Amino acid sequence: QASQEELKAAYRRLCMLYHPDKHRDPELKTQAERLFNLVHQAYEVLSDPQTRAIYDIYGRRGLEMEGWEVVERKRTPAEIREEFERLQREREERRLQQRTNPKGTISVGIDATDLFDRYDEEYEDVPGSGFPQIEINKMHISQSIEAPLTATDTAILSGNLSTQNGNGGGSINIALRRVTSAKGWGELEFGAGDLQGPLFGLKIFRNLTPRCFITTNCALQFSSRGVRPGLTTVLARNLDKNTMGYLQWRWGIQSAMNTSIVRDTKSSHFTVALQLGIPHSFVMVSYQHKFQDEDQTRVKGSLKAGFFGTIVEYGAERKISRHSILGATVSVGVPQGVSLKIKLNRASQTYFFPVHLTDQLLPSAMFYATVGPLVVYFAMHRLIIKPYLRAQKERELEKQRESTASDILQKKQEAEAAVRLMQESVRRIIEAEEARMGLIVVNAWYGKFVNDNSRRNEKVKVIDVTVPLQCLVKDSKLILTEASKAGLPGFYDPCVGEEKSLKVLYQFRGVLHQVMSADNEALRIPKQSHRIDADG
């Protein structure tokens, strides 16, 4: 947000500080020349509105991208953003043939009803009947990949295999999708399987208005019973910023009309739906609360009632690693009984384990379905997941340190050179501040501080930044903006990838003050709240 006048003032101040002609020592003169050139390069970028807009939005990687030389100058930041995205698209199109988007699902159904619904009197003489029999009674595997053919055409290949109680089958589908315009796309689908005959389908998506779209799916399923046509149409509209309304009409196999409202905010997700159809008609309400924590914890509950009975579900899900989300849901219904559903999302792959516990509404089954996953999760989190994530973070930090070691070494050398060049200016600033009883930085440290006793084994990694901070004092004031302090003159990053703070002990009007500020936190001193009480 700095104005051109502020940029010029900062440029002049740093030029005076680093100008080679101000230093007679050959070594200091060489260091001053290097820093003076860096300041000049920075000013060239920031004084040009176009390159400044590119840097403000995308940083150095934006300036390094090829193609800016042909972009018309005097563009607004919004137009520059659009141009950057266009250049990115062109670069991505050159790698289209090397990209796919694999997605897959593995579902394993487990029958554990023998744990709660046992017929002991019928199997007393059968060997092994004393132990509950847990069986896998069904399994489903599906996989799909996308192969971009051109910038607008994509081929999608998918297949699935299913088995239940010894009987199974599979199918394979291929679809061709074309983006016809910014408002819509169309897709042709062809499929075949051993349980059903050939399938021909057509799907069309179209944005009717900026707030409304429609999707239509037509299908012809060939089988031994003849041709079975089907048609599904969905009309959706944005009711407000966070709310969508849907109207669905399905004709053919299991004809139905469905209407639903979905509200999704930062902290919650709410859905209410009503369906009238053959053979299923129902009303459904679900709510999900999103906790604003690092693990993206969510708890959810739903109620569904219809001709098939009533089902109540409740559960939770949590992020257990960068690419993995683990969830568990308990389903209690009439006449379905009690089931536990465990789901693991790993990147674009989904692993689903529905465990059927009982056909009856048994409190014991509901208790174990609720408490069991919680106990197992917290035990795994403490004994396996947490140590694994800690070790993974250490490996990533070590890898980051190794990859940036040469760059950090260069930054360190530049910072040390800057501190040496600042000495004379700092001496004059201190003399002026002492004369007016102004702001004098007694001590300042930047880096990783360890104050918590639980982390006392960790190593403190700080650098002395007393001189650089004093050099930034002007008219008995020091103002730092919301940005990493590692980029300030005379600073560098002493602990890459770790949390850093700035601790300052300063004197103002003869009274000691102290403050600790987070790395990206703005800081203004002096302040009355920083004052150290004499009796403290």
What the chain holds in terms of domains, given with CATH numbers, is 4-62 (1.10.287.110), 400-530 (no CATH)
pLDDT higher than 50, residue 280: yes
Q: Are 377 and 384 in contact (CB under 8 A)?
A: no
Q: Are 492 and 486 in contact (CB under 8 A)?
A: yes
pLDDT of 534: 57
Residue type, 529: S
Range with the poorest average pLDDT among 223-237, 294-308, 441-455: 441-455
Q: Are 230 and 251 in contact (CB under 8 A)?
A: yes
Beta strands in 347-472 (DSSP E): 349-358, 439-448, 461-464
Going by their DSSP bridges, the two strands 226-240 and 523-525 should be labelled as: unpaired
Distances (CA, A) of 337 to 90, 136, 137, 316, 365: 55, 18, 17, 20, 9
φ and ψ at residue 531, rounded to 5 degrees: -65, 140
Quick one: which H or E segment has residue 477? none
Going by their DSSP bridges, the two strands 226-240 and 243-251 should be labelled as: antiparallel
Query: Could you read off the pLDDT of 60-73 as tens digits, one per residue?
Result: 766 766 554 434 44
**Mean pLDDT along residues 129-149:** 85
Nearest 5°: CA angle at 214, between 212 and 219?
170
φ and ψ at residue 262, rounded to 5 degrees: -125, 125
Average model confidence (pLDDT) for the chain? 85
DSSP result, 142-195: EEEEEEE-SSSEEEEEEEEEEEETTEEEEEEEEEEEEEEETTEEEEEEEEEESS
pLDDT of 505: 93
Question: Residue 84: CA atoms inside 13 Å, Cβ hemisphere, count?
Answer: 22
Higher per-residue confidence, 252 vs 60: 252
Confidence of residue 271 (pLDDT cuts 50, 70, 90): very high
**Mean pLDDT along residues 247-257:** 89
pLDDT higher than 80, residue 503: yes
pLDDT of 84: 66
Give the separation between CA 228 and CA 167, rounded to whole angstroms: 24
Going by their DSSP bridges, the two strands 103-111 and 349-358 should be labelled as: parallel
Confidence of residue 454 (pLDDT cuts 50, 70, 90): very low
**Mean pLDDT along residues 149-163:** 90
Range with the poorest average pLDDT among 275-289, 361-375, 410-424, 509-523: 410-424
**Mean pLDDT along residues 290-297:** 88
Give the separation between CA 189 and CA 187, rounded to whole angstroms: 7
Q: Which two tokens stand for residue 338?
A: 């009690």
Give the separation between CA 256 and CA 237, rounded to whole angstroms: 20
Query: Could you read off the pLDDT of 80-106 as tens digits, one per residue?
Result: 667 667 666 666 655 554 466 788 999
